[in-house]
Amino acid sequence: MNMNHEKPEYKLYIRLLSANQRRIYGFIYAMVPNHSVAEDIMQETTLLMWEHFSKFQEGTNFSAWGISIARNMIRQYFRKKGRKGLVFDSQALENLIGQSDIFESEDDKIDALRHCFKKLRGNEKKLLEMRYIQGDSVRKIAENVNRTTSHLYRVIAKIHNLLLKCIKKQLIS
Amino acid sequence: MDEKRISDIAVYTIKLIDQTISPEEFEELNSIISSNAQAARYYNQLMLAVSDFQESAKEIILEETGAETVLNEEFWQLLSVDEKTAPAVEIEKPVPERVPVKMLKIERQPKIVRKSPLYTAVLSIAAMLLMVLIVQLKPVLPTVASLTDSINAEWSDVKNTPMNGDVLRQGRWNLTKGLAEITFDDGAVVVIEAPAVFDLESPKSMYLDSGKINAFVSRYAIGFTVNTPSASIVDLGTEFGVDVQFDGTCDMQMFSGKANLVIGQEGQEKTSQLVNVKEARNVDGRTGHVRNIAMQKKRFVRRIDSVTGLIWKGQDLSLVDMVGGGNGFGTGKQNQLIDMFDGVLSGPGHNQFYSGYSERKGPYGITPVAHPFIDCVFVPDAERNRQVSTLGHAFLECPDTLGSFQENIFVGPESPEMGIRKHLLYLNNVQWGAHGRPALSVHTNAGITFDLSMIRRANPDMKITAFKSLYGISDNATWGNSRKTVADMWVLVDGEIRDKAIGHHPQSKPKTINVELKDEDHFLTLVTTDSDGVTNEDWCLFANPVLVTE
């Protein structure tokens, strides 16, 4: 399809895509935890989304629409390319796809996340800061605090699990 | 799920994001997710939470952490207490660097929206070059089907556009416009509606990636299979439609017979269910969940015929069927006629006044017909009768005719009337009136008027847009001997001429009639007149006359 960059719908498309691409890509990456493959699929998905953008109803959930297309692109990809490297097998992938409605949610999780982050202990917050703000690897943090990486992974996993439980509770309430 | 399992998934997921997961650990994660939908859900939740957290980390963390910059021992003490109930921690030892999986950071954004026009152009050119290379290197694949008909078909591969009659090779096809009828080597006939992307897999199977198809599978082609992203339909001698959306969701409906619907991806456990006639199913592209849905009669194009322009979605109204006493949808009978004198529809053996082989004078005026959709029949003649409807519409240009007729208007291969000279109906050596090719025989001089208003009233959800038919004089009528068969044909709407064929004879090319109809049009009239003052063997016929609906 010819991408006429002057067309108003192209601008609308780009605006919607910019606002939602992270969610769509996050979905693809969760299903295909390989950035190279995920990027290929994302590219195919966004092209197909543009081709069929006329079918998208403005005001509806754009990321859900994109994810619905991405699902098929993921299946297509594996059907054509087969499974190589660290990729989920078909049963695991179908289970993941079957539970992927989570990615379509329009809940505002950021406020919930902020609320839950406040409830963490100081050192837990500090760990997340080192990881997400300073960009330290788990191994580096482990060396700094004189712990094993596997131990630290369990700690970080535990913190994420606490956050997740809190967010769920927060969203329900 | 127990806490241990949750903890394992969380650790593996974080390691996966960090690209430090070992193949063994990934295999374990895969195994947990493949056997447990809850685990899959938890994994998704975690991936989403991490993604959200990464997006908002700065904003959230920096407003919270403040001056607390040292990780204190108390924290580790507390964690140690927590860890007592957790699985054993590995003995502290230097951890070898994992061989990282070649992945990029999750923070990276997808490429597509960053494309500059130049990048897009470069990418397009690269893709084109690649396509050329692929074409050059592509092996010659076996033929599995033929393009048996098409209407305004356009294909994405303009240099390899198939023409009607061409054989088609295995591989991917992309029908971008129009309709195509593909006959598989094993006998299944599939009508494909654009846009559709599909693979011809074998003489007995196809993969429908997206789009709509209708498959007609004779009993000789049982087992024909349509694979889709979410399901497979294995035919058991039937006709069915399949519609695959871009998300892999598949709707299928059975027009006749039955089929097996097989659900499940490659490599997965599959389930199947029998789908019977007039049943429809939806298979969710995401979950594979199957549910019953309502049949939609107009959803699929089921027949096409480029000669007559026929695009049949099940709803077009057959005028032949009406003359056969039906409602236009196939409830009528074959071998029926309308008596020109009393307007009664009757079947084989009808012989009210006729002694055979002679002109029947009159009736002078219209004869109302005992069918709600057929207003009247009449013998057209400039002097004796120009009226064509019960509301008084007149055919003002009606030519002067003998004012008599020979055969009643009939449907079927030949007139069911006793005493009449039997003749079959052919156009271009194709027999009409039988073998699924409906025809209305209107031997001169005769006219028939259909009541469009009544038809609309009976079918309020439809919009009648046109009258279509093929018209001609049967091949087997006399031509070229001492006596020549020639006739005129007229299509009227509310008495106004909308189409005509003057001086038509058996060797004339059949005329394709396509008369546009508007909502306000009340009556459609078909008339044949003798043209030369002789009605002998004026075996005029309307082949597959239909009211096209939307």
Q: At what angle do helices A149-172 and B37-65 cross, to 10 degrees?
A: 90
Compute the nearest-CA separation of A82 from chain B (Å).
11
pLDDT at B511: 96
Chosen from A28, A96, A145 to mutate, greatest number of chain B CBs within 10 A: A96
Q: pLDDT confidence of B358, banded at 50, 70, 90?
A: low
In a domain, B545, yes or no: yes
User: Residue B518: what residue type?
Assistant: K
Assess whether B291 and B381 both reside in one domain: no
Among B64, B84, B104, give the residue marking a domain's end.
B84
Q: What is the pLDDT of residues B98-149, one digit of tens each?
A: 333 333 333 333 334 344 443 454 344 444 433 443 343 344 577 888 898 8
Assess whether B296 and B319 both reside in one domain: no
Please count the other Cβ atoms lying within 10 Å of the Cβ belonging to residue B193. 21
d(CA A64, CA B48): 14
pLDDT at B255: 85
Q: Is A85 within 8 Å of B101 when comparing Cβ atoms?
A: yes
Q: Is A95 within 8 Å of B34 when comparing Cβ atoms?
A: yes
> Greater confidence, B96 or B23?
B23
Indicate the average pLDDT of chain A: 82
pLDDT at A79: 81
Q: Is A144 on the interface with B (CB under 8 A)?
A: yes
Assess whether B350 and B258 both reside in one domain: no
DSSP for B34-91, written as a single string:
HH-HHHHHHHHHHHHHHHHHHHHHHHHHHHHHTT--S--HHHHHHHHHHHHTSPPPPP
Assess whether B431 and B527 both reside in one domain: yes
Q: Are B467 and B526 in contact (CB under 8 A)?
A: no
- Taking contacts as CB-CB distances below 8 angstroms, the residues of chain B near A90 are 265-268
Assess whether B276 and B395 both reside in one domain: no
Q: Is A33 within 8 Å of B103 when comparing Cβ atoms?
A: yes
d(CA B109, CA B38): 29
Which of A6-15, B395-404, B529-538 holds the top average pLDDT?
B395-404
- Which residue from B50, B59, B247 is facing A69, i.e. has the nearest CB? B247
The CATH number linked to B160 is 2.60.120.1440
pLDDT at B356: 53
Q: How many CB pairs under 8 A join A and B?
A: 247
SS3 B123: helix
Q: Is B56 within 8 Å of A110 when comparing Cβ atoms?
A: yes
Q: Is A48 within 8 Å of B246 when comparing Cβ atoms?
A: yes
Q: What is the pLDDT of residues B272-292, one digit of tens each?
A: 889 998 899 999 988 888 999
Assess whether B218 and B353 both reside in one domain: no
In a domain, B129, yes or no: no
Q: How many domains does one find in chain B? A: 3
- Taking contacts as CB-CB distances below 8 angstroms, the residues of chain B near A138 are 14, 18, 20
In A39-68, the residues whose Cβ lies within 8 Å of chain B are 39, 42-43, 46-48, 52, 68
- Which residue from A34, A35, A89 is facing B34, i.e. has the nearest CB? A89
The CATH number linked to B391 is 2.60.120.1060
Q: Is B111 on the interface with A (CB under 8 A)?
A: yes
Assess whether B196 and B332 both reside in one domain: no
- Taking contacts as CB-CB distances below 8 angstroms, the residues of chain A near B41 are 99, 102
> Greater confidence, B77 or A156?
A156
Q: What's the whole-number mean pLDDT along residues B6-31?
A: 88
Among B236, B268, B303, give the residue marking a domain's end.
B303
Q: Is A125 within 8 Å of B229 when comparing Cβ atoms?
A: no
In a domain, B114, yes or no: no
Q: What's the whole-number mean pLDDT along residues B470-476?
A: 94
Q: Is B61 on the interface with A (CB under 8 A)?
A: yes
Q: pLDDT confidence of B235, banded at 50, 70, 90?
A: confident
The yes-or-no verdict on residue B547 having pLDDT over 80 is yes
Assess whether B459 and B527 both reside in one domain: yes
Chosen from A43, A71, A77, A99 to mutate, greatest number of chain B CBs within 10 A: A99
In a domain, B119, yes or no: no
Q: pLDDT confidence of B427, banded at 50, 70, 90?
A: very high
Q: Is A171 on the interface with B (CB under 8 A)?
A: no
> Greater confidence, A35 or B320?
B320
- Taking contacts as CB-CB distances below 8 angstroms, the residues of chain A near B285 are 68, 71-72
Q: Is A133 within 8 Å of B246 when comparing Cβ atoms?
A: no
Q: Name the residue among B246, B219, B149, B142 with its Cα closest to residue B190.
A: B149
Assess whether B197 and B328 both reside in one domain: no
- Least-confidence region, from B261-270, B386-395, B412-421, B532-541: B261-270
Percent of chain B with pLDDT over 70: 80
Assess whether B246 and B330 both reside in one domain: no
Q: Are B399 and B503 in contact (CB under 8 A)?
A: no
Q: At what angle do helices B37-65 and A109-119 cross, to 10 degrees?
A: 70
Tokens 């291969």 correspond to B413
Among B84, B114, B135, give the residue marking a domain's end.
B84
User: Residue B485: what residue type?
Assistant: T
- Taking contacts as CB-CB distances below 8 angstroms, the residues of chain B near A113 are 49, 52-53, 56, 60
Assess whether B389 and B245 both reside in one domain: no
Q: pLDDT confidence of A19, banded at 50, 70, 90?
A: confident
pLDDT at B360: 81
| CATH class (in words) of the domain with range A109-172 | mainly alpha
Compute the nearest-CA separation of A150 from chain B (Å).
7
In a domain, B128, yes or no: no
pLDDT at B411: 94
Cis amide bond preceding A95, omega within 30: no
What are the extents of the domains in chain A? 8-104, 109-172
- Which residue from B33, B49, B110 is facing A167, i.e. has the nearest CB? B49
pLDDT at B65: 57
Assess whether B398 and B489 both reside in one domain: yes
| Domain, as residue range, for B326 | 315-549
| CATH class (in words) of the domain with range A8-104 | mainly alpha
Q: What is the pLDDT of residues A67-87, one digit of tens each?
A: 999 999 998 888 877 777 778
Q: How far is CA B95 from CA A122, A157, B76, B387, in A?
A: 27, 18, 20, 101
* pTM for the predicted model, two decimal places: 0.41
Q: Is B229 on the interface with A (CB under 8 A)?
A: yes
